[in-house]
Chain A
Amino acid sequence: MMVELKQIYKSFGTLEVLKDVSLTIEKGEVLVIIGPSGSGKSTLLRCINQLEKINQGEIIVTGQVVARKHPGEKEFVLPLKQVYKLREKIGMVFQRFNLFPHMKAVRNVAEAPIHVAKVPKKEAYERACQMLKKVGLSDKEQAYPAHLSGGQQQRLAIARALAMEPEIMLFDEPTSALDPELVGEVLQVMKDLAKEGMTMAVVTHEMSFAKDVADRVIFMDEGRIVEQGTPQEIFGQPTQERTRTFLRKILN
């Protein structure tokens, strides 16, 4: 089991974003999370790598308890140093890329391996070049992010995350900020990654990706998991009315 979430509750102030969410992600599984905006999908991903702290529930990543907060029990939260360590194993790709604008492409990729994983510089740069090649950016090694198209920037962001050799990749609406004609190239990189057996959790509005690539689809609404199943089940015969309504809206 790669990730286990048990009865997660999370709120921002008085706004409850996650309500009693439980899910597991198996090793090598591609999990796609769909749902209307504001349904808590992104927050759910961000809880996995502790960019958000949960109010209640339990998170276990690769067998390690990250947080355990049950009412009436003693709270456990992973110490900060170990949270840093944990994040090395969890790659994340953001909607707005969040590349480092003051670094060239190759440096963006090599930065964390050098300073976090302590890989020797030369080796880190070699690996960075391989990663860039993998996402089709071999000719952009020396380019600054600002000089890349949106699709190239997002592929660079994927390369940057992969360079840390994560055990799981989290994608938070990776194509939502892209012009329609650039979506395909990013999804292709993600498909390739899935084919290699990478464990992935993907929040997306790209239903074709969910249909083609997902092993399992989760539909969330108003902070809860409404329904989950194989793509055939979710897209073919959803059991919940809310799922049907959402799919009707988004597929038309």
Chain B
Amino acid sequence: MNTFDFEIIIERFPIFLKATIPTIQLTLLAITFGTIIGLIIALMKISQKKPLMIIGTFYTWIFRGIPLLVQLFIIYYGLPSIGIEFSPREAAALGLSLCGGAYIAEIIRAGIQSIDKGQMEAAYSLGMSWEQAMFRVIIPQSLKRLIPPMGNEFITLLKDTSLVAVISMVELLRTAQTQASATFKPFEMYVTAGFIYLMLTTLFTILFNKLEERLALSE
């Protein structure tokens, strides 16, 4: 009968910590580019210009509708056959940002549309253009409402970074895999990875709660 081996966890923990760095980096990259993409797509979807609306809708349709894992396979294993090659890291960052962007676009769109119509009219009545009204009046007000769903999405992105293990990017889960086969202790190794993910998502949750509190105070 095997018992849970804490010693091997302590012994291998530094390796796991090192593997946490690319996981965090990838998360931050995906959040940054996902948010930029999300904002652009959201604005396209609510713009009055039909072609932009169509592109925006098409984007979310594709990147929200195809499983992230399949997207990663297409980017990493598929695209090289038409001459587009990425390193595992690039493919991972690209896939997560594109997919995250689709979800973030929906969050931002909903946030913007939740602002009272009178705000846009007041901005217009003062001579503001659509862009000015959007960036000076509507978006700043929607930020506070965006915090909770964005926090959720960032946590999802963090967890989804584990998917890139399948395109052989060295990150937390991939490291757990290699350590599991090296030590013959899969249970301990995967639990360790799970524990670190849990700590990271907890950290995110606390950060976002703090942010929410601070923004709630500002009004």
Contacts and interface: CB of A to CB of B under 8 A. Distances in A.
Given A144-B219, A146-B219, A100 B122 contact: yes
A51 B121 CA distance: 7
Contacts, number: 63
B132 A98 contact: no
Interface stretch (B6-14, B81-89, B135-143, B198-206): B135-143
Contacts of A112: 126-128
Given A94-B118, A94-B122, A102 B127 contact: no
B219 A101 contact: yes
Contacts of A88: 126-127
A96 B118 CA distance: 8
Contact of A116 (B119, B126, B140): B126
Interface string B103-124: 0000000000000101101111
B153 to A, nearest CB: 23
Nearest to B119: A98
B interface bracket (residues with beta carbon within 8 Å of A): 10 to 19
Contact of A161 (B123, B126, B132, B140): B126
Contact of B124 (A51, A81, A102, A164): A51
Interface residues of A, number: 28
Contact of B128 (A84, A99, A146): A84
Contact of B126 (A96, A101, A102, A160): A160
B127 A87 contact: yes
Interface string A174-185: 000000000000
Nearest to B122: A98
A164 B128 CA distance: 11
Interface in A104-159: 111-112, 115-117, 144, 146, 157
Contacts of B119: 98, 100
B125 interface: yes
A18 interface: no
B128 A102 contact: no
A187 B178 CA distance: 77
B219 A116 contact: no
A220 interface: no
Given A101-B141, A102-B141, A144-B219, A117 B127 contact: yes
B122 to A, nearest CB: 4
B129 interface: yes
Nearest to A157: B122
A117 B126 CA distance: 10
B125 A91 contact: yes
Interface string B135-166: 01100110000000000000000000000000
Contact of A98 (B116, B127, B128, B136): B116
A51 B126 CA distance: 11
Contacts of B122: 92, 94, 98-100, 157
A49 interface: yes
Given A98-B119, A102-B219, A146-B219, A49 B136 contact: no
Interface string A29-65: 0000000000000000000010100000000000000
Contacts of A117: 127
A244 interface: no
Nearest to A170: B125
A195 interface: no
A98 B126 contact: no
A157 B122 CA distance: 9
A84 B130 CA distance: 9
A111 B136 contact: yes
Q: Report which residue of B126, B128, B137 has the largest number of chain A beta carbons within 10 angstroms of its beta carbon.
A: B126
B127 A51 contact: no
18 contacts: A49-B124, A51-B125, A84-B124, A85-B127, A87-B127, A90-B125, A94-B121, A94-B122, A96-B118, A98-B121, A101-B141, A102-B219, A111-B126, A111-B136, A112-B126, A115-B136, A116-B126, A116-B132
Given A100-B141, A161-B125, 6 more contacts: A51-B121, A51-B124, A84-B124, A96-B118, A112-B127, A116-B127
In the A-B complex, the 10 residue pairs with the closest CB atoms:
A88-B127, A98-B122, A112-B126, A92-B125, A98-B118, A116-B127, A87-B127, A102-B140, A84-B129, A102-B141
